Structure 1
Amino acid sequence: MKWEVTILMAVAASVISCSNNHDEINVPVTDQAIAFTATVPKARSEVTTTATINNFKVWAFANGEHYMGENGVDVEKIGDKWSSDPVIYWPVDDSLNFFSISPTIKTATQNNPENPNIPDFINTGKTDLLYAVNMNESRTSTNVRNNQLVVNFRHALSQVNLKCARKRDDIKVVIHGLSLDGIKSIGSFNYPKETTEANISSDETRGTWSDLKYTESIPVYNDNAPVTLNSAQPEAVPNNTGYIFALPQPLEEAVKTADGYTGSCVKLLCEIYDESSSSKIWPAKSDTNYDESTGAGYIVFPLRTAVTSSWDTGRRYIYTLKIDVPEDGSGKIDFDITVDDYQNYDDAPDIL
């Protein structure tokens, strides 16, 4: 199954010699220039699609030197056409290494052709970050098909989805808040050193993350209006913050301390009622994790389990929390975890 977003860089059938002026903005647009077009397979609404992608940035190196300047080239969709500034031409003899990212990140520069990366990326959880690599490309490369250089974009982040379900039909669960705790939100993305082909054949073609830092508690739902869970069927947890994309990272074991919990975990703030009488049955004020401001209690769910000990690049993680009345006051929860492809690309359009 394919995991990659695909973007095409359409190039003219004929090329001219590239002079030292290939970085100039005022190069006239002709049939000899590289043009761009972008295609993204069908996906869920939160993920970048052909209809929503509108820009990317690309850097190129020739013989270990910048070919398009340290700041690369911004490619923007205007109407139904893609436009780059400056216009780019193929060199006559040299091959090029391309490194692309979408959306455009203004602070990103590629100063090291031997180890291209995006340093200190700040993840907000709302941006579907994409990357692509094309190594040793020229107009006659096998990746140039129908006069188009095929550039396969992949997902740089992990997608995290949370669902809740009441475990028994005789209870009603009122959700006041939900957060991901102990999560790193800043890291440096390292491009792979091989071309990102249409199918992932090895980990060598995956991007990696390093220098992870800034651990925080990330709210997923923090609206003042509580949400009632009435069904035993898993329901997507309300998400009013828009956080669904996380940095790929190792997950630390959740450990109970005198002040709460440390490590990677989900904190669910909720109340539990008897379905028939509407009487509140949890929490009492004396219970552990009681919250005076809402009258609810925290149930803590560890993100690190036997199923998954890390979030990996390009994977989607679906956590289903099955809620029942805690037996010991500390929070009791059963859970299912599903790990699948970030997107289903079976319905992707044929681009060749």
Structure 2
Amino acid sequence: MKKILLAAVAALAIVGCSQNEEIEKAGEKAEINFGTIVSKTTRAAVTNIDSLQKSGFTVYAYNTGETEMKSVVAKGLGTPFMNGAIATYTTKWDLTGGPYYWPFNGNVQFFAHATDASSKYELKDSDIYPTITYTINDDASKQKDFVVAQLYNQKKTENDVKLSFLHALTQVNFSAKGSNNNLKYTISSISIEGVANTGTYSFADSTWSVTGKAGIYTYPIADNAPVSGTTISDLAQAKGALMLMPQAMTTDSKIKISYNVYNATDVKIDAVTDAVISLNNTAAWGVGKKVRYTLTLSSEGATISFAPEVGNWSTSDDTPVAPPAE
């Protein structure tokens, strides 16, 4: 998977309650330096290096001594010596509470996420790995591409600590085409409803447990977005992708669409309002995946076919697939 390497490096240093025991002599200190990486992205709404520099990230670090992460037990991470340190970027990365230095011995476990007021990092006594609770904004224009990173068993080194940030949410887009090549269509609204807005992300297995209310998310499209005949039109706008909680679809999950239908002389012959497409029993939304729904608009509004597709976020874009034959 292609990566974009952030050239600027954050200067970090360890602060601990037993600093004299864990840190080498002052003249031999080795700073912890970060280099950050974000998975390749293609749309302006998606987090890339520039947007990560604007939003910053929050990092936690634990010294587990000789114990590697795979052998850590509940409460084994202990108290973080980097406890929610916030990295901000001007001409370089600066960290609150820094500088921080490598411990003389031991494995260091790093956990990080994009700095976002909608997130809550937590490590319960009964858990080995930390979790993050996150809530999706109801307003699509305020939704963010939330990214996370983890790196285990790091020891003192002169090299940068490479935090590889991965997309934690699902990116949802729409395309549309008509069922009749002689007709034209203008779409006034598309929304997704009945999907959970809150979830808890586990660093243990990179999965979400969804909770919270069922939200309604309006997909940003151009005013009266045009669709001509049976040609597939990509409805995405700049900064227009929905960033939603990864989850399985339920009986409440659905798409709503409203559109007008015109003949070859631009006379309106039909108006379809809030046509419902059930998403129940369709593919679940995966972590860091792109999902595109290709909607087929009928002249009478009686049927709307669709076909979801899923691609790794690292692809340059998704190619819409044809819906099943009616």
Task: Give the TM-score normalised by structure 1.
Answer: 0.71
Point out the more displaced range, 106-115 or 84-93: 106-115
- Cα distance change on mapping 1:324 and 1:301 into 2, 3 Å: same
Unaligned runs of 5+ in 2: 21-25, 65-76, 317-326
Task: Please give the alpha-carbon distance, in whole angstroms, between the structure 2 residues aligned to 1:339 and 1:323.
Answer: 21
Partner amino acid, structure 2, of 1:60: A
- Cα distance change on mapping 1:106 and 1:35 into 2, 3 Å: farther
Partner amino acid, structure 2, of 1:280: K
Aligned residue for 1:158? Answer: 170
Aligned residue for 2:179? Answer: 167
Partner amino acid, structure 2, of 1:72: G
2:273 pairs, out of 285, 288, 297, with 297
- Cα distance change on mapping 1:17 and 1:40 into 2, 3 Å: closer
Task: Please give the alpha-carbon distance, in whole angstroms, between the structure 2 residues aligned to 1:160 and 1:32.
Answer: 44
- Cα distance change on mapping 1:21 and 1:110 into 2, 3 Å: farther
1:8-23 matches, within 5 Å, as: 20=18
Aligned residue for 2:270? Answer: 282
Task: Name the structure where helix makes up a greater proportion of residues.
Answer: 2
How far has the Cα of 1:237 moved from its partner?
Answer: 2.1
2:231 pairs, out of 226, 230, 233, with 233
Task: Please give the alpha-carbon distance, in whole angstroms, between the structure 2 residues aligned to 1:58 and 1:9.
Answer: 16
What is the CA deviation profile of residues 93-128 of structure 1, one whole-angstrom value per residue up to 9, with x for unaligned ones? 221211111134475333336230112x11125211
* 8 Å Cα contact 1:99/1:132 also seen in 2: yes
Task: Please give the alpha-carbon distance, in whole angstroms, between the structure 1 residues aligned to 2:212 and 2:229.
Answer: 38
1:108 pairs, out of 98, 120, 141, with 120
* 8 Å Cα contact 1:183/1:218 also seen in 2: no
Task: Give the TM-score normalised by structure 2.
Answer: 0.76
How far has the Cα of 1:136 moved from its partner?
Answer: 2.3
Partner amino acid, structure 1, of 2:174: L
SS in 2 for 1:310: coil
- Cα distance change on mapping 1:343 and 1:158 into 2, 3 Å: same
How far has the Cα of 1:11 moved from its partner?
Answer: 9.0
**In the alignment, does 2:260 pair up with 1:249?**
no
1:269 pairs, out of 237, 241, 258, with 258
Residues matched between the structures, number: 287
Aligned residue for 1:127? Answer: 144
Identity of aligned residues (%): 22
SS in 2 for 1:51: helix
**In the alignment, does 2:42 pair up with 1:66?**
no
* 8 Å Cα contact 1:316/1:342 also seen in 2: yes
* 8 Å Cα contact 1:130/1:155 also seen in 2: yes
CA RMSD of aligned residues (A): 3.3
